[in-house]
Amino acid sequence: MSKEDYVRAKRLGDRARARAIATGSYPYLPALDDFLEQRDILAEVPLGVQEIPLNMIVGTRTKGRTSSFASNFMPILRENTEFAMKWADLYDAQQEEGLRDPIKCYEYMHRFYVLEGNKRVSVMKFVDAVSISADVIRLLPRKSDEKSIVIYYEFVQFYNVTGLYLISFSESGCYEKLAELLGQNLTDHWPEEMIENLRYAFQQFEMVYLAKGGSRLDIGAGDAFLVYLNIFPLDSLIHDSSDQIGKNIMRIWNELLTSTSGDHLALIEHPELIQKNTGLIHDLLTTFPRYSPSNPLRVAFIYERNPEDSSWVYAHELGRNQLETAFGGVVDTIELENCQSDEFVEHAIQAAIADEDEVVFTTSPSMMQVTLRAAVEHPEIRFLNCSIHLQHNAVRTYYARMYEAKFLMGAIAASVADDHVIGYLADYPIYGSIANINAFAIGAAMVDPSCKISLKWSSWKNRSWQDEMHAEHLHIISGSDLIVPRIPDRRYGVYRYDDDGTVTNLATPLYNWGKYYELIIRSILDGSYDDRSVSKKDTATNYWYGLSAGVIDVILSDQLSYYTRKLVAALKSAIIAGSLSPFEGELHSRKGIVRATEIPDKVTGSESGKLSYEEIITMNWLADNVMGEIPSAEDLIDQARGTVLVSGVAAAKDGQES
């Protein structure tokens, strides 16, 4: 009998209990019954006998044995008790022949609670075993919108196709992202080889990650694993040595810090927020290269398509051309077109590196993953991606607050819509696009409270927005924001569509990408780009400029009345001054009140009634005067799906508003 081993185990338990008491934590094993008193269990599902991770066994089913163990499952009863003798006998059996009989436990919310076999679990944890055989019964909580419940049911989908327990995530959507990275889905069973490769890869990653200090971060091994796979392939964890995996983890350490920081986003909404310190000491310490026409700053622009076929690319190409003119030869640019796959984006980035470019702009959210890999590999190059809410330390993002212009466009449309109905054409259901729709709808309702917005999507599969708008007899329409040079179509911006097919343009939003790129490049040239207030190792930087920065605007037609033009000028001035936002005060979705009226504090100036950046960008509800829906990724054309899977709002994945 190994009494000495029991004493060592008890010492570990006593220490864990003492630490818990000192920090005000519960010092014993939690009992599942205590949790279930507050929960509505939908069903019990027998899963049979299987190997389960020991580190996911966190408590007991009932309260009977909770005080026999500390919270780390180490024993705390005296060594002269019957309990201690039985524990020691089990330890001897494990050392001599192993413990073969499965324990009985319940799985609840991706954690295990022991019904029979607490001492066996304690012994196996003491010898640092990885897993244990268990007869498992799953307790399914009733579905709800609670974050933890949503994530759990996503895990259940993942389990159903892999049978794996060991990977946990803290955010919704991560299991789907993992599946996408591995070329799988959460519907069809994964190949056995893929499952075994994933199991081995995660175990290798977790071991090295914890050895490198991952336990000190606020990001679990599962979340860190997903960050790793966004940059390095799964095969690298299978074939690389532990030493190389450790080096890879250290290369992305700032990305992990960015993921764990409570304030991990430096959101720059106004260019003047970044000011270069021109003091003498700063100048002496500054080591930025001096650029000139003979030694220009070399900049590459990578486009998903080409300017002739894509209005989006055409707008950015105008910006690139304006950029070269603005700096009189001090900036030299190249463009690389038709990069519609990861392979082509990789080739384009390699071409930019060969061209000795110091700045690389990738102009689509779908390019972010390849951009991130390149940025980690080449930290000497500044990489920026045109997207919003894709937060990485190595790649800065930039996007326009187009919802401000859409708010003005909504007011314009309502001022000329005699029948109180306006058609609205959206492209992709990605971050920011729902805010554009709702800002338009709110602007319209402020002019005409009876106004309704009929929402259509150009990226719908097997549906024609033109036919649907024609069938609804819509005459005032908000169409595409941009024009394609080779397609002479006047159906863009807000326009009137008459029964005889005549199109009259009334107003159009303007993306001034040239101004945007000029502001970013100027910060690089004057040194403020790398100012310590912005460039931090645990921070993602996102430029989010709007009307006040001059990167967007609205062009008005002479067809509009003097009163409409005056209204737009007043609204625009208020937005620029910061005294008006479409998303402040009382807000209503089709499901009810999103935010009740809140009056800003006149003493502190707090704008408690305005939606936050996060709430605006991730918006997945439609205003109460919008008729339509947010499509799921499966409802979209193939060209849209890649971007939506990378940058899509939550509702775009399940078709439901939250």
Residues 9 and 129 in one domain: yes
d(CA 571, CA 558): 18
* Max CA separation in the chain (angstroms): 97
User: Across residues 41-53, what is the average pLDDT?
Assistant: 93
* Residue 634 domain-assigned (yes or no): no
Residues 538 and 391 in one domain: yes
Contact status, residue 554 vs residue 510, Cβ threshold 8 Å: yes
pLDDT reading at 283 higher than 70: no
User: Across residues 134-152, what is the average pLDDT?
Assistant: 93
Which amino acid makes up residue 540? A
User: Across residues 635-642, what is the average pLDDT?
Assistant: 80
Residues 134 and 9 in one domain: yes
Angle at 491 between CA 471 and CA 468, to 5 degrees: 15
Residue-range definition of the domain harbouring residue 132: 1-142
Q: What does the chain come to in residues? A: 658
Backbone angles phi, psi at 225, to 5 degrees: -60, -40
Helix locations, 331-377, DSSP H: 342-354, 368-377
Rounded to whole angstroms, what are the CA distances from 658 to 146, 429, 623, 635? 11, 14, 12, 19
pLDDT grade for 275, boundaries at 50, 70 and 90:
low
Residue 163 in 3-state DSSP?
A: coil
Residues 302 and 169 in one domain: no
pLDDT reading at 20 higher than 80: yes
User: Across residues 54-67, what is the average pLDDT?
Assistant: 88
Residues 187 and 110 in one domain: no
* Residue 389 domain-assigned (yes or no): yes
Instruction: Look at residues 112, 142, 172 and tell me which one is the last residue of a structural domain.
Output: 142
Strands 421-426 and 382-386 turn out to be: unpaired
pLDDT grade for 597, boundaries at 50, 70 and 90:
low
Angle at 103 between CA 99 and CA 108, to 5 degrees: 140
Amino acid 624: pLDDT: 94
Q: Average pLDDT of the chain?
A: 89
pLDDT grade for 638, boundaries at 50, 70 and 90:
confident
- Dihedral sign (CA 581, 584, 586, 590): positive
Strands 476-478 and 494-497 turn out to be: antiparallel
pLDDT reading at 260 higher than 80: no
Query: Smallest Cα–Cα separation from 633: which of 188, 177, 152?
Result: 177
Amino acid 565: pLDDT: 95
Least trusted range by pLDDT, from 55-64, 180-189, 525-534: 525-534
Q: Which residues pair with 132 in a beta bridge?
A: 52
Residues 333 and 366 in one domain: yes
* Residue 171 domain-assigned (yes or no): yes
Percentage of the chain beyond pLDDT 90 is 69
Residues 81 and 197 in one domain: no
d(CA 110, CA 105): 12
User: Across residues 311-331, what is the average pLDDT?
Assistant: 92
CATH number at residue 340: 3.40.50.2300
pLDDT reading at 348 higher than 50: yes
Amino acid 276: pLDDT: 57
Amino acid 285: pLDDT: 38
* Residue 414 domain-assigned (yes or no): no
Amino acid 646: pLDDT: 75
pLDDT reading at 650 higher than 70: no
Instruction: Look at residues 531, 548, 565 and tell me which one is the last residue of a structural domain.
Output: 548
pLDDT reading at 284 higher than 70: no
pLDDT grade for 534, boundaries at 50, 70 and 90:
low
Angle at 146 between CA 140 and CA 148, to 5 degrees: 65
Residues 63 and 160 in one domain: no
- Extract the tokens encoding 302: 């990578």
* Residue 615 domain-assigned (yes or no): no
E runs forming strands in 109-227: 111-116, 131-141
Instruction: Look at residues 142, 157, 185 and tell me which one is the last residue of a structural domain.
Output: 142
> How many domains would you assign to the chain?
3
Query: Could you say which DSSP state residue 355 is in?
Result: T
* Residue 569 domain-assigned (yes or no): no
Per residue in 151-197, pLDDT tens?
A: 999 999 999 999 999 999 998 889 999 998 999 999 999 999 999 99
CB under 8 Å to 189, separation ≥6 — which residues? 161, 162
Residues 223 and 283 in one domain: no
Rounded to whole angstroms, what are the CA distances from 601 to 201, 605, 608, 609, 613? 52, 5, 8, 10, 20
Residues 233 and 305 in one domain: no
* Residue 377 domain-assigned (yes or no): yes
Residue 80 in 3-state DSSP?
A: coil
Residues 294 and 335 in one domain: yes
* Residue 562 domain-assigned (yes or no): no
Per residue in 217-248, pLDDT tens?
A: 889 999 999 999 999 999 999 999 999 999 99
Residues 158 and 234 in one domain: yes
pLDDT grade for 517, boundaries at 50, 70 and 90:
very high
CATH number at residue 42: 3.90.1530.10
Query: Could you say which DSSP state residue 335 is in?
Result: E
